[in-house]
């Protein structure tokens, strides 16, 4: 690969749609990022501990544990509260975005998203993630 690995992030994609997960994985890998996929909030919470991502993309409407609940649990955990969470949803109303911010999400990306939109969202958080994790 190219020089991208130095700026590549570890990204967790949480979505109950295999199509969305696979599209996001393909786009992110093309951008030089390492990707782990989770099918729902419970799956994400089990993987976040092992993978320790720099960024999480989280669908809102999922069975068992929705995206708002998943984000709130991540943000309440001292070990993971620093990880930026970008909510993914086909709903882009003011209420949906505000609710995401209330549980700690940094951003809201409307589905279907393009490769460029996804990579721009990662780039927007890359510098911040590097600053926060640079003290390791």
Domain range list for the chain: 3-133
DSSP-derived secondary structure letter, 83: S
Question: How far is Cα 106 from Cα 21, in angstroms, rounded to an integer?
Answer: 20
**Tens digits of residue pLDDT in 55-75:** 999 999 999 999 999 999 999
Q: Which CATH number fits domain 3-133: 3.40.1210.10, 3.40.50.2300, 3.90.1640.10, 3.40.50.920?
A: 3.40.50.2300
pLDDT tens, residue by residue, 10-40: 999 999 999 999 999 999 999 999 999 999 9
DSSP character string of 102-125: HTT-SEEEESSPPHHHHHHHHHHH
At 21 the three-state DSSP class reads helix
Q: pTM, whole model, 2 decimals?
A: 0.89
What's the mean pLDDT in 45-64?
95
């Amino acid at each position: 690969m190219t020089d991208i690995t130095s700026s590549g992030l570890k990204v967790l994609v949480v979505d109950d749609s295999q199509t969305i997960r696979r599209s996001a994985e393909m786009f992110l890998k093309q951008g030089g990022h390492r990707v782990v996929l989770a099918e729902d909030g419970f799956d994400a919470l089990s993987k976040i501990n092992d993978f320790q991502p720099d960024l999480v993309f989280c669908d809102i409407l999922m069975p068992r544990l929705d995206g708002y609940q998943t984000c709130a649990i991540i943000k309440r955990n001292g070990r993971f509260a620093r990880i930026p969470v970008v909510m993914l949803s086909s709903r882009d109303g003011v209420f949906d975005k505000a609710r995401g911010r209330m549980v700690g999400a940094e951003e809201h990306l409307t589905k279907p998203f393009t490769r460029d939109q996804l990579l721009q969202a990662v780039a927007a958080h890359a510098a911040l993630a590097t600053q926060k994790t640079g003290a390791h």
